[in-house]
Amino acid sequence: MSFDRTPLMRRLGGAVPEEELELFDSLGRIGKKYAIGHDLGEECRADESIMILQHGWTMTYKILRGGDRQVIDVNLPGDVLGMRQILFNYDDYRIEPITEVFAQKMPADIILRSLGKSLEIAAQVMWAMMSDSAFSPERLVSMGRREAPKRVAHFLLELGARLDRVHLSNKNGYLCPLSQTDLGDILGMSAVHVNRVLRDLRERDLLTFRIGKVKFHDREELNRYAEFEPSYMERRLH
């Protein structure tokens, strides 16, 4: 895999015939910068297009009546954004950059048409879209049945695995722009408790979360502790 490729290509790479990959990727080479505060979902909805994140992170979230925020999805380079906003009426969901972001936009019907181009591409695109974290049932398992420390550990491991697919992570950790407040709104807990849980995990020498940096001390032990089984993120079918 050469490195002038976009993150999406790095994710799709491998099984797809070379020309088709090039074709598909070339559809939206032209990208644009977006600043913190801009709602990417609104833009997708407005002109029925999707976006492919090239650089930077975004979060998809909803604000409840009482002011609480729930993050649905953390979007990483290579992720496909906006498909939900186009297919459904999610008016009150925002997709907002955490850092400055670079993304390419393309009309939704190009994606939908490309599904017909080849069976392989169809499977790949479906896979890319479904594998975004909101679609990961493990989030539901965590929220429903894992206590806070395991929930945090599991999520950070999952993020690591997702970043790994686009070569933005290594075995010891990764750069992570999330605040403790963000973490709380992702995992359904208060920022204060996130803080205590992180201290706990640090003192038990499992992982360190600090100023945009996640560091794993004992990954094996961590996997066991959080019941993290990375295999569920891998592709089957060919």
Partner DNA sequence: CGGGGGGTTGATGGACATCAACATCTGTGG
Partner DNA sequence: CCACAGATGTTGATGTCCATCAACCCCCCG
Nearer to a copy of itself, 143 or 202 (CB): 143
Collapsing DSSP to helix, strand or coil, 49 comes out as strand
Return the residue of 27, 42, 70, 164 that touches a copy of itself, per CB under 8 A: 70
Cα–Cα distance between 191 and 69 in angstroms, integer?
12
CB of 91 to a copy of itself, least distance (A): 7
Closest CA to 207 of 146, 144, 132, 157: 157
Number of residues in contact with a copy of itself under rule CB under 8 A: 57
**Hey, how many other C-beta atoms are within 10 angstroms of the C-beta on 30?**
8
Judged by CB under 7 A, the stretch of 37-45, 89-97, 193-201, 225-233 that binds DNA is 193-201
Return the residue of 15, 130, 141, 191 that touches DNA, per CB under 7 A: 191
Going from the C-alpha of 20 to that of each of 15, 27, 45, 218, the distances in angstroms are 11, 11, 27, 41
Residues 188 to 227 in contact with a copy of itself, rule: CB under 8 A: 188, 227
H/E segment holding residue 18 = helix 18-26
Cα–Cα distance between 76 and 57 in angstroms, integer?
5
Q: Residue 193 has which token pair?
A: 């408790």
Judged by CB under 8 A, the stretch of 16-24, 136-144, 171-179, 215-223 that binds a copy of itself is 136-144
Residues 109 to 148 in contact with DNA, rule: CB under 7 A: 147-148
What number of CA atoms fall less than 13 Å from residue 86's CA on the CB side?
18
235 binds DNA (CB under 7 A): no
48 binds a copy of itself (CB under 8 A): yes
Cβ atoms of 90 and 84 closer than 8 Å: yes
Q: Residue 50 has which token pair?
A: 């999707």
Give the binding site for a copy of itself (CB under 8 A): 48, 60, 62, 64-65, 68-70, 72-73, 83-84, 86-93, 108-109, 112-113, 115-117, 119, 122-123, 126-127, 129-131, 134-135, 137, 139-141, 143-146, 185, 187-188, 227, 229, 231-237
